[in-house]
Amino acid sequence: MNQKNNLIVGIIIALVVAASYNVDANPIEFVKGLPNLAIIAEEMTQIDPELFGTAFWSMLETIQMAFIGTIVGVAISLPLSMFAARNLNSKYVYAPVRAILAAIRTFPSILWAILFVIMVGLGPFAGVLAIIMYTVGFVTKLQYEVIETIDADPMDAVNSIGVSKWQLIRYVVLPESAPHLISQLLYMFDYNVRQTSILGLVGAGGIGFYIINYIKFFEYGKAAVFMIVVLIAVLIIDWVSVKIRDKYIIKSQHGMEVTTK
Amino acid sequence: MVITQTTNPSSFSIISTKKIIQMNEVWTSYDSKSYVLKGINLSIDKGTIYSIVGQSGSGKSTLLKLMNGLMTRSKGTIKIDYQTPNMNDKKFKSMMHKIGYIPQSLGLIKNISVLENTLIGALPRLGKIQSLFKMFPEKEIQEAKKILKLVGLLGKEKRKIYMLSGGEKRRVAIARALMQKPTILLADEIVSELDHVTAREIMNLIVDAQKRMNLTAIMVHHDMQLALEYSNRVAVIKAGEKILEIGVEGDKIVDFQTGDLTTQEIMEMYTGESKK
Ligand SMILES: Nc1ncnc2c1ncn2[C@@H]1O[C@H](COP(=O)(O)OP(=O)(O)OP(=O)(O)O)[C@@H](O)[C@H]1O
Ligand SMILES: [Mg+2]
Ligand 1 within 6 A of CB of B272 = no
Q: Which residues of A touch B163 (CB under 8 A)?
A: 255, 257-258, 260
Domain presence at residue A26? no
Q: At A207, which CATH number?
A: 1.10.3720.10
pLDDT tens by residue, chain B, 276 residues = 333 344 444 444 444 578 999 999 999 999 878 999 999 999 999 999 999 999 999 999 999 999 999 999 999 999 999 999 988 888 999 999 999 999 999 999 988 999 999 999 999 999 989 988 999 999 999 999 999 998 899 999 999 998 899 889 999 999 999 999 999 999 999 988 888 888 898 899 888 888 888 899 999 998 888 898 999 999 999 999 998 898 888 777 777 777 666 656 656 666 655 443
Using a CB–CB cutoff of 8 Å, tell me whether A179 touches chain B: yes
Question: Buried b / exposed e across B137-155, counting CB within 10 Å, b at 16+?
Answer: eeebeebbbebbebbbbee
Kindly identify the ligand whose nearest atom is closest to the C-alpha of B38.
Answer: 1
User: For residue A1, is it within any domain?
Assistant: no
Interface test with B, best of A78, A90, A159, A161 (most B CBs within 10 A): A161
Q: Is residue A40 part of a domain?
A: no
Provide the shortest C-alpha distance from residue B109 to chain A (in Å): 6
What DSSP designation does B6 have?
-
Q: Could you tell me if residue A231 is inside a domain?
A: yes
Distance CA B205, CA A214 (A): 77
- Residue A161 Cα, gap to closest chain B Cα (Å): 5
Is A27 inside a domain boundary? Answer: no
Pick the atom of ligand 1 nearest to B58's CA: 21
Q: Domain limits at A121?
A: 49-254
Non-local CB neighbours of A258 within 8 Å, separated by 6+ positions? B163
CB-based burial label for A145 (10 Å; 0-12, 13-18, 19+) = middle
Domains of chain B plus CATH, in order, are 15-109+184-274 (3.40.50.300)
pLDDT in tens, A28-82: 888 888 888 888 788 778 888 888 889 999 999 999 999 999 999 999 999 999 9
A89 in any annotated domain: yes
Q: How many domains does chain A fold into?
A: 1
Size of the A and B interface in Cβ pairs below 8 Å? 90
In this complex, the residue of B124, B132, B134 whose CB is nearest that of residue A162 is B124
Q: Where does B82-232 show beta strands of DSSP type E?
A: 99-102, 184-188, 216-221
Q: How far is the CA of B25 from the centre of ligand 1 (A)?
A: 19
Any domain includes A30: no
Contact B111 A179 (CB under 8 A): yes
Chain A residues lying within 8 Å of B95, measured CB to CB: 162
- Chain B nearest CA to A167, separation (Å): 7
